């Protein structure tokens, strides 16, 4: 399913009536089965953009169009947050089936669907564990499985690996790439990590400093499935350098504007 972010802008008004423009005329599409990464300076509105697409925030102007879905219906999207947002009193299995319970599926159906995704994310044998018994990487696997069990047309991921240590983060990048190969879900992936965006994405959308505008959209022409050796190849490094150039220019503009 194609998702169109159609000239979207967002301005916040505080209690004093003062306005802050977070996003300005954002326009791009997420194609069916495409992995789109979004990068930009801190405060550029990346999470605001994700929350609008998820239906958690309204726009000031523009719209988000899910092809073939009524505009007044709930967006067919699943979300993986920066923080794991797991229920501490529920086991791994119970966390994963939560959405299926809310939809009223029978217990047997819940278990069948959950076991499929538990196997996909590598959590076999941990179904009865509680979140406090898991590592950070395993908690994020639970969060990914919980989002996937509801079969969303679009998976929204808001810096899901930012709280992980460097080694675990790299391993989870490989795992997410593998999971994407299996599911072919459309994914919008928010990250500060340029190398991560290049490794995972089919395209990388670069946002400016606030108000966030689309500076460039970089197609990533690297072979799939993505493998570790790509990170040392010239083409990969050139993509990283190109995107870093945009981000660095934004930082220079901020410094030049300071008195």
Residue 126 has pLDDT above 70, yes or no: yes
Q: What is the pLDDT of residue 75?
A: 75
Contact criterion met (CB below 8 Å) for 173 and 145: no
Whether 233 has a pLDDT exceeding 90, the answer reads: yes
Is the per-residue pLDDT at 259 higher than 70? Answer: no
Among 69, 76, 61, which residue's Cα sits nearest to residue 27? 61
Average pLDDT, the chain: 91
Could you tell me which residues come within 8 angstroms of residue 183 by beta carbon, excluding any fewer than 6 positions away?
A: 120, 148
H/E stretch holding 28 reads strand 19-30
Instruction: Report the share of the chain in percent with pLDDT over 90.
Output: 78
| Strands of 137-185, DSSP E | 154-158
Can you tell me the mean pLDDT for 146-151? 92
- Kindly report, residue by residue over 102-116, the tens digit of the pLDDT: 888 999 999 999 999
Q: Which of 29-38, 103-112, 194-203 has the lowest mean pLDDT?
A: 103-112
| 234-251 pLDDT, tens digit each | 999 999 999 999 998 877
Task: Give the mean pLDDT of 17-35.
Answer: 94
CA distance linking residue 77 with residue 79, whole number of Å: 7
Asked whether the beta carbons of 227 and 182 are under 8 A apart, the reply is no
Q: Which segment of 15-29, 57-71, 121-135 scores lowest on mean pLDDT?
A: 57-71
Task: Specify the range with the lowest mean pLDDT, choosing from 37-41, 163-167, 210-214.
Answer: 163-167
Mean pLDDT, range 60-68, rounded to an integer: 92
Cα dist. 86→61, 136, 163 in Å? 33, 11, 14
3-state per-residue secondary structure call for 127-195: CCCCHHHCCHHHHHHHHHHHHHCCCCCEEEEECCCCCCCHHHHHHHHHHHHHHHHHHCCEEEEECCCHH
Of residues 85 and 34, the one with the higher pLDDT is 34
Residue 195 pLDDT: 96
Given this model, what pLDDT does residue 158 score? 94
What distance in Å separates the CA atoms of residue 95 and residue 141, rounded to the nearest whole number? Answer: 11
Helix (H, G, I), strand (E, B) or coil at 68: coil
CATH number assigned to the domain covering 1-76+162-259: 3.40.50.300
Q: What CA–CA distances, in Å, run from 231 to 69, 173, 247?
A: 38, 12, 20
Q: Do the Cβ atoms of 154 and 77 come closer than 8 Å? A: yes
pLDDT at 24: 96
Total Cβ atoms within 10 A of residue 70: 7
CA distance 217 to 203: 7
Q: How far apart (Å, rounded) are the C-alpha atoms in residues 218 and 202?
A: 9
Residue 153 per-residue DSSP state: S
User: In which residue ranges of the chain is CATH 3.40.50.300 found?
Assistant: 1-76+162-259
* More confident of the two residues 68 and 155: 155
Q: What is the pLDDT of residue 66?
A: 92
Cα angle 87-90-93, degrees, rounded to a multiple of 5: 110
pLDDT value of position 47? 93
Whole-prediction pTM value?
0.91
Which pLDDT score is estimated for 134?
94
- Which single residue is written with the structure tokens 């008004």? 13
Radius of gyration of the chain (CA): 19
């Amino acid at each position: 399913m194609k998702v169109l972010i159609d000239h979207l802008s967002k301005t916040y008004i505080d209690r004093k009536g003062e306005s802050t423009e977070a996003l300005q005329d954002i326009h791009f599409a997420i194609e069916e089965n495409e992995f789109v990464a979004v990068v930009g300076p801190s405060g550029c509105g990346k999470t605001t953009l994700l929350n609008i697409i998820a239906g958690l925030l309204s726009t000031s102007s523009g719209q988000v169009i899910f092809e073939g879905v009524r505009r007044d219906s709930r967006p067919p999207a699943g979300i993986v947050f920066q923080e794991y947002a797991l229920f501490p009193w529920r086991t791994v299995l119970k966390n994963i089936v939560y959405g299926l319970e809310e939809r009223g599926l029978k217990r047997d159906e819940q278990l069948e669907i959950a076991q499929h995704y538990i196997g996909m994310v590598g959590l076999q044998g941990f179904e009865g564990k509680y979140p406090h018994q898991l590592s950070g990487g395993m908690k994020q696997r639970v969060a990914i499985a919980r989002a996937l069990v509801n079969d969303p047309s679009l998976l929204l991921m808001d810096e899901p690996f930012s709280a992980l240590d460097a080694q675990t983060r790299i391993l989870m990048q490989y795992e997410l790439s593998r999971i994407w190969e299996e599911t072919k879900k459309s994914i919008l992936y928010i990250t500060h990590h340029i190398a991560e965006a290049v490794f995972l994405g089919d395209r990388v959308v670069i946002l400016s400093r606030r108000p966030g505008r689309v500076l460039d959209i970089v197609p990533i022409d690297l072979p799939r499935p993505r493998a570790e050796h790509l990170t040392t190849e010239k083409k990969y490094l050139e993509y990283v350098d190109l995107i870093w150039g945009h981000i660095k220019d934004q930082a220079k503009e901020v410094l030049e504007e300071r008195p």
